[in-house]
Amino acid sequence: MRLVSYLPALFATILGCRPPAPPDTSAAARQAIDVANANWPRLTAAGHADSIADFYHPSALLLPPNMLPLHGRDSIRAFFGVMNGMSSPPPVLTLRAESVWASGPMAVELGRWHFAWPAGAKRPPGAPAVDSGKYLVRWVQENGRWLMVQDIWNSDLALPAPQR
């Protein structure tokens, strides 16, 4: 019975020795993410694959729909360079964060994307003129800058019916 009387003190000691929780950085992360997202339309419309790749961490992972994962900033730069070269003019892309959760130097963004090709633009075969969907991005803050580490998105459009 004596052990039972020591349990509250033991738990208080254990709980008191925990390191402090990381600070809630959601507001600062949200502000930085909103600024980055506001730049995407201009950069995609101008075909700036280098500037787009700079949003990503050097060891980032890009998970585009219906493709193998792309590892690293150089692969991501090449991906956006090819995507920009597949259409003329490129589509106008907008991104909107619906929520951002951050703790210390990590954040997760859940958002919506939308793109539309200008009338008469050359589009990749089978690409819709307008599309929208959702995305999830994990960000890290490094040297005071928020960078994308993992990026995945998909369309809200149904897949085309198989041809017979």
Per-residue model confidence as pLDDT tens for the chain (164 residues): 555 555 555 555 555 666 676 667 789 999 999 999 999 888 888 888 899 999 999 999 999 998 999 999 999 999 988 776 556 777 888 999 999 999 999 999 999 999 888 888 888 777 888 999 999 999 999 999 999 999 999 999 988 777 77
Residue 49: CB atoms within 10 Å = 20
What is the distance between the alpha carbons of residues 156 and 153, in angstroms, rounded to a whole number?
Answer: 10
Written as six digits, the tokens of 160 are 């085309």
- Angle 121-133-154 from CA coordinates, rounded to 5°: 95
Backbone phi and psi for residue 15, each to the nearest 5 degrees, phi listed first: -65, -35
pTM value? 0.80
What is the per-residue pLDDT for 97? 96
Going by their DSSP bridges, the two strands 92-103 and 106-116 should be labelled as: antiparallel
The closest alpha carbon to 86, from 52, 54, 117, belongs to: 117
Strands lying side by side in the sheet with 130-142:
70-71, 56-63, 145-155, 130-142, 106-116, 92-103
What is the distance between the alpha carbons of residues 115 and 118, in angstroms, rounded to a whole number?
Answer: 10
Going by their DSSP bridges, the two strands 145-155 and 56-63 should be labelled as: parallel
Render 115-127 in DSSP notation, one character per residue.
EEPPTT-B--TT-
What is the per-residue pLDDT for 54? 95
**Architecture of domain 22-155 in this structure:** Roll (3.10)
What is the per-residue pLDDT for 164? 76
- Label residue 52 left, alpha or beta by phi (over 0 means left) and psi (-120 to 50 means alpha): alpha
Distant-in-sequence, close-in-space partners of 121: CB < 8 Å, separation ≥ 6: 87, 88, 89, 90, 91
